[in-house]
Amino acid sequence: MASSSSSSKTGLKKMLTLKSSDGDEFELEESIVIQCQTIKHMVEDGFSLIPLQNVDTKTLTKIIEYMKKHAEKTESNKEEIKNFNKEFVKGSFDDQFELVSAANYLHINGLMDLLCQSIADRINNKSVRAVREIFNISNDYTPDEEEKVRDEHKWAHEGGEFDESLD
Amino acid sequence: MGAKNSKRKCSKLFDVPILSFKPSKGIRISDVTIMDLPRVIMVEILSRLPIKSIFCCKTVCKLWPIELSPKFHLPPLGWNMFLISSCNGFICLLNGKPYDENHSVYINNPFFGQYFKLKLPEWEKNVSRVTYGFCFSEASGQYKLLRLVARKFEGCPEVSELEVYTVGVDEKWRNVREVPCPVWHRFDKVYVSGALHWMD
């Protein structure tokens, strides 16, 4: 505690540079970046410039936004973080796809949890047709085949209304 | 003649220029589908869904990535396997006999076929038998394994102690205390409303 407050007074925060696959560089405090396990291990190995060949600039910008906000997490701003998370997962599946792949690669557990839960929530209780639309899946069943598969798991399709909305 | 033809066919196949499917830098793939996600992420996502939703998804398309069969996937332990408890779709299995030093305990997700072996405390000489229970603690939101250890001391009645292992924390077994009413491996047990009940 004492050492961290003295270093912030003197401005001696350790900085790291993340480099996206597009070649853009982002300078960040180490304390923010170590939420990411993959980078944390590289820092421990003495790296200060970290090339991320699997993460493009657009995705990295979003991930940095997430890490910065979550580095501010305290006991008193839980509600604020919750609202931030809610806003963060809005967007098309294309965006979520890039984010969840990057979160998995970078081992950011909190972000992985958030995104997987959000994608699961988008599937849960949706009609088959809505799931296809949301996740860009084309139906490769013939009507007869689809009927047969549906019959095999009839119990799963029974009871309750299925949500047709595409959000 | 026929052989010659087939040879030509083969070489023709290799004449086809190999196309690179890797998108060039800067171009974003706009038509990714959920099925392009690695299996490890798909399992992360689907394991958060109720079982009904998982089966509904099978009707989405033929290539839906998770193999759904009516079979359960158990660890390959052979016939010496006993069910300890099941809880929220996970099952806890005992391999071997609970009074035998060399038994082992597994936690298994039979739906996705994932399992792991628990690290058990070292078997002490005075242990006569152990009894296991597996449950989800609603208070802590964690899965726990209970291990009732009966110990024999010369000239004394048997003593039963309770040890607790919390899944996903560390590999330590916490010794809680001596239990006044020891339970047996053969007792029926059931997990209801966040508590494990043993029945004589």
pLDDT the model gives residue B67: 58
Does B50 sit within 8 Å of A97, measured CB to CB? no
pLDDT (tens digit, 9 = 90+) per residue, A87-99?
999 988 888 999 9
pLDDT the model gives residue A11: 60
pLDDT the model gives residue B46: 83
| Helix (H/G/I), strand (E/B), else coil: B24 | coil
All residues at 6 or more sequence positions from B5 whose CB lies less than 8 Å from its CB, including other chains: none
| Amino acid, single-letter form, for residue A84 | F
Q: Chain B neighbours among A 1-20 (CB < 8 Å)?
A: none
pLDDT (tens digit, 9 = 90+) per residue, B23-61?
334 334 456 777 788 878 888 888 788 777 887 887 888
Residue B133 burial by Cβ neighbours in a 10 Å radius (0-12, 13-18, 19+): buried
How many percent of chain A have pLDDT more than 70?
93
pLDDT > 50? residue A14: yes
ipTM of model: 0.82
pLDDT the model gives residue B19: 33
Contacts of A97 in chain B (CB under 8 A): 32, 34, 36-37
* Residues B101 and B123 sit within 8 Å (Cβ to Cβ): yes
Range of lowest pLDDT (A11-15, A18-22, B173-177): A11-15
Round to whole Å and give the CA distance between B23 and B34: 18
pLDDT > 80? residue A167: no
Round to whole Å and give the CA distance between A31 and B5: 67
Does A22 sit within 8 Å of B25, measured CB to CB? yes
The sign of the CA dihedral B76, B79, B84, B88 is positive
pLDDT the model gives residue B99: 84
pLDDT (tens digit, 9 = 90+) per residue, A104-133?
999 999 999 999 999 999 888 888 888 888
All residues at 6 or more sequence positions from B151 whose CB lies less than 8 Å from its CB, including other chains: B124, B126, B127, B128, B158, B159, B160, B161
Q: Tell me phi and psi for residue B176, to 5 degrees.
A: -80, -65
* Residues B162 and B177 sit within 8 Å (Cβ to Cβ): yes
| Helix (H/G/I), strand (E/B), else coil: A103 | helix
Question: Chain-wide mean pLDDT for chain A?
Answer: 87
All residues at 6 or more sequence positions from A17 whose CB lies less than 8 Å from its CB, including other chains: A25, A26, A27, A28, A48, A49, A50
The beta-carbon neighbor of B45 closest among A58, A119, A157 is A119
CB proximity A139 to B under 8 Å: yes
Does A137 sit within 8 Å of B34, measured CB to CB? yes
* Residues B52 and B46 sit within 8 Å (Cβ to Cβ): no
Round to whole Å and give the CA distance between A97 and A129: 20
CB proximity A140 to B under 8 Å: yes
The beta-carbon neighbor of A100 closest among B41, B52, B63 is B41
pLDDT the model gives residue B20: 32
Q: Tell me phi and psi for residue B151, to 5 degrees.
A: -120, 145
Angle, in degrees to the nearest 10, between helices A57-71 and A78-88? 170
pLDDT the model gives residue A20: 94
Round to whole Å and give the CA distance between B152 and B150: 7
Does A116 sit within 8 Å of B48, measured CB to CB? yes
pLDDT the model gives residue A32: 93
List per-block mean pLDDT (blocks of 10 residues) for chain B, which spans 200 residues: 37 33 41 79 83 80 64 72 84 88 89 84 87 88 90 82 90 86 76 80
* Residue bearing the bigger pLDDT, A86 or B88: A86
Q: Which tokens belong to B108? A: 């298994």
pLDDT (tens digit, 9 = 90+) per residue, A49-83?
999 998 999 999 999 999 999 999 898 999 999 99
* Residues A49 and A28 sit within 8 Å (Cβ to Cβ): no
Query: What single-letter DSSP state applies at residue A39?
Result: H
